Amino acid sequence: MAGTRVQAESPNISLGSRLSAYRKESSNRRPDFAKAYDELVQRLDVIDRGRVGPGLGELMPEFELPDENGRLISLSSLLRFGPVVISINRGHWCPYCKLELRSLAAIHSEIAQLGAGVISIMPDSARFTGSYVAQNDLPFPVLSDIDLGYSLLLGVIFWVGPEIQQLYQEAGVQLEKYHGNQGYFLPMAAKFIVGRDGRVKARQVNIEFRERMEPEALIATLQHLRWMKIDPSA
């Protein structure tokens, strides 16, 4: 068990391997959560994930959301500096999101060298995202999706259901406190890479939230965008 936990935290293996190691450790520790999550994913898997959110080549809807310091940040303001990697995350309490965002932090300098920026959007208020950014040394802002308004606009929102709601309450995961409402809705884990023209260049919606886009795929897309900028005829 300890070896699996160490593997989940190791920066020397792929994000997918780290997520898989944590999932195995978590399933052994809390089989009730694993069963409930499997049933949730099965319920959501009837959704055509290719139709969830803006598709390739489509305009990414504008947002203006507060960061962990209360400053309003818009998509259009970010795009003035280059492409933007938008990571839709479930919350500061989610261990899978933590592994993913740490992997983004690890390649942040490479992303910046390619002329792009990164943001995370989650439904938690700045009261929780502020300490989360500091504790995890995130070099990019985490925006608060108030009442999941932006996730609803994208169509990546779902209700957790009564079983998971009860499990969260018993485990001390206080979504009503983090979100400031009693809805018990969450966003699907998703990545959108948006070009300077505001259009989606790559995307991945993970109905199975225990899986995420690999950093290498993200870097490959940004490298392609940089090459297209250098040689528009390519």
Residue 24 in any domain: the answer is no
Q: Which residue has the tokens 């960061």?
A: 67
Structural domain count of the chain? 1
Q: Which residue has the higher pLDDT, 211 or 10?
A: 211
Residue 83 in any domain: the answer is yes
* pLDDT-derived band at 51, boundaries 50, 70, 90: confident
Residue 40 in any domain: the answer is no
pLDDT, residue 45, reads: 80
Domain holding 114, by residue range, is 51-230
- Let me know how long the chain is: 234
* Cβ proximity of 16 and 214 under 8 Å: yes
Is the pLDDT at 105 greater than 90, yes or no? yes
pLDDT, residue 66, reads: 96
Residue 5 in any domain: the answer is no
State the DSSP string of 130-141.
HHHHHHTT-SS-
Residue 179 in any domain: the answer is yes
User: What CATH number did the domain enclosing 120 receive?
Assistant: 3.40.30.10
Residue 28 in any domain: the answer is no
pLDDT, residue 12, reads: 67
Two tokens, residue 195: 């070009």
Give mean pLDDT, residues 118-135: 94
* pLDDT-derived band at 81, boundaries 50, 70, 90: very high
* pLDDT-derived band at 48, boundaries 50, 70, 90: low
Is the pLDDT at 88 greater than 50, yes or no? yes
Residue 32 in any domain: the answer is no
Residue 205 neighbours by CB distance under 10 Å: 22
Residue 18 in any domain: the answer is no
Q: How far is CA 218 from CA 187, 202, 207, in A?
A: 20, 8, 19
* pTM (whole model) above 0.75: yes
Least confident of 45-49, 90-94, 101-105, 162-166: 45-49
Q: Which residue intervals of 10-107 are DSSP H helices?
A: 15-29, 31-44, 75-79, 95-106
Q: Which residues pair with 143 in a beta bridge?
A: 121
Two tokens, residue 128: 């929780």
